[in-house]
A and B are shown apart, each in its own frame.
Chain A
Amino acid sequence: MSNEQQVIDESLKKDYAYGFVTDIESETLPPGLNDDVIRTISAIKEEPEWLLEWRLKAYRHWLKMEEPKWAKVVYPEIDYQAISYFSAPKKKELASLDEVDPELLATYTKLGIPLEEQKMLSGVAVDAVFDSVSVATTFKEELKKAGVIFGSFSEAVKNYPELIKKYLGSVVPYTDNYYAALNSAVFTDGSFVYIPKGVKCPMELSTYFRINEANTGQFERTLIIAEEGSHVSYLEGCTAPQRDENQLHAAVVELVAHKDATIKYSTVQNWYPGHPETGAGGIYNFVTKRGICLEENSHISWTQVETGSAVTWKYPSCILKGDNSVGEFYSVAVTNNHQQADTGTKMIHLGKNTKSTIISKGISAGQGQQTYRGEVKIMKGAENARNFSQCDSILIGEKCGAHTFPYIDVRNPTAQMEHEATTSNIGEDQLFYCNQRGISSEDAVSMIVNGFCKDVFKELPMEFAVEATKLMEVSLEGSIG
């Protein structure tokens, strides 16, 4: 046990490995939110009149709403007037990577995403979002050849206004919830992906989000549209610098899958979880993610590995409208130290023969509190709908908690739905067995946890799976006692 204790001590002392602040001049609005701020954001981004109107409508609706309190998370009240709603690196309109601020590039290098290298080697196009404005987009040319549109949201507003007008808010309307309304009012940028009919996207699309400017809420908006018979895999990964003030992140992600289309959306999230001993300063992650399988045989799959953030409030959902459509949700969430997560999914079955699978693995250590909250709704018209849900939790240590709150509404008798869940700890006998075979406790835990998460990791794209395994090790190292 002394060996384990030592590991705990070491890991407790470990600072957030990705915590650093990049010193780049930013153009930042003063804190506060009112009509003028929204007009200014819209003006800076040279947006058309209709979009400004939409933002203002969302803002007025938001004013009427109340912050949701039902999640099992505790955090000090957020002062929405103390947040600055716009921050962008000053240098803009870059023609190539060479013009990118070298310091910014260095930041990416520190994070392990050298743009140039990725351009050459990995075959992954990166739309790096630094705070709120896309600075550089690689591989655009190649994607263009395939007809794929992949770029920042603001560019898309300028270049493809008819697509944005048609789909913006079609899956997550601004009236949806408090944070979605706020996002709709003040979103600054994000990613836009359009896959035309019959195209299989030639590479995995990836965006690295990064929160930087102090006191700046990050309000991203992502929209992915997959036309008939198309296929796309999208990766989202996040790391953030260490901060002492809580940062709010309220993103909205909308996915639209037409007939026979497949969208696979993977996330690895490792934002600053707060000070290990006090929990101070971590990121608040209040995200609305939803996809709609609009027509028959469409397929949407969410995979997420959540290891960061102080407070997570996130329910990636699927509306299975088309007949025979499929929705999937694979999740690994880790809460260590003072982290809190209330996360899960919603599967709403509308079409006939729709199928959904939910696999959720929760790992709670330290004083982490984790809640799985998921809803499976089978509506009247969903003949022969099928759902399988499994949510398992591992508890490590005496002060953590794991909670499971599934909501199952069935309105059609031909539907079949199953829900299973277990909660347990890492057995002493399992550890003993590994020790006996010469495997250290630390390795044994890592092995057991990775085995526990395997069902989810195998859904991740290769590079992400490696990163995820590493993240798990870092997040949990030494939490066994």
Chain B
Amino acid sequence: MGSVALRNIRKSYGAVEVLHGIDLDISDGEFTVLVGPSGCGKSTLLRSIAGLETISGGEIVLDGTVINRLQPKERNIAMVFQNYALYPHMDVAKNMAFSLRLAKESKDEIARKVNAAAEILDLVPLLERFPRQLSGGQRQRVAMGRAIVRDPEVFLFDEPLSNLDAKLRVQMRAEIKELHQRLKTTTIYVTHDQIEAMTMADKIVVMRGGHVEQIGSPLDLYDHPANVFVAGFIGSPAMNFLPAKASAEGLRTASGVILGSAGTQLKDGHDVIAGFRPEDLRLADTGIPAKIVVIEPTGAETEMVLRTPDGTVTLTTRDRIPHAPGDQVHLSIVPGKMHCFDAATEVALGQVGGAS
């Protein structure tokens, strides 16, 4: 069992509060990703759960027990650090055995557990190597092995892939996810990379400035962002935003272009931010006038940056583009795919139908 509940967690450094009352429930076996820009408090929150930071207020509950005041070693939580934090003077086997040695387990038991973890992580041939003799991905696996041998209630990962190159990152992402599916240990994973969050998480917690902005499944956040920040943070390339006003004909931009029909809940003249994802934007014969600035083919998809009278937008398409930079085109938003946010509060007003 490894269910975690955070109740109104606060953390201050002197007069500066960096966590402003975080509430979060993580059920047993869930893979939860804390994501947000740097300085949002996600690492601090993770380290508080680990016991490496003391919190200024609130409760951290593990399986019904409040663990605020427990030392890290008493929490039965394992952590994988961003820079792996392997003990350089110990070989791989000793690195993995360290916690078991401290727990005074028998030699046979230690050997059995280390070998079992090494099997899972393909580390058997590397057991006698030292960290400096390993590649980045191997070090990463040793760090995970060290966490696995303890059979903890909860795994914590603090940006574990950010030191790896792009290709290895994708590979390790899959390995961590597979490992989780196999061990089913509750996992809390911190990253600033929304793609990692999207691909790995059962549940994503988007944080900003010490607040939780939104909690939900990856596709839930993608399809129903609660505010402009989440909408812009989740998804790559990012969602397009154009300022507009509600009117009888629909959402009208400052230049007079109608983006799509406004929902019934909006009063005329209501200032909004219209949001639409690059893949929900189409080239059309009529609609939003735009000039092509850049065309970036990636093979499977082509990304285009276009300038409209009201701002720059991005479009992605799987079609081949019969245009060149500088061409004048028209754009339309796929009906039903427009997000509408209040201009003042930036909170979602619900999806409204897009048209023409």
- Chains A and B belong together in one complex: no
Q: Which residues of A pack against B, CB within 8 Å?
A: none
**Interface of B toward A, CB cutoff 8 Å:** none
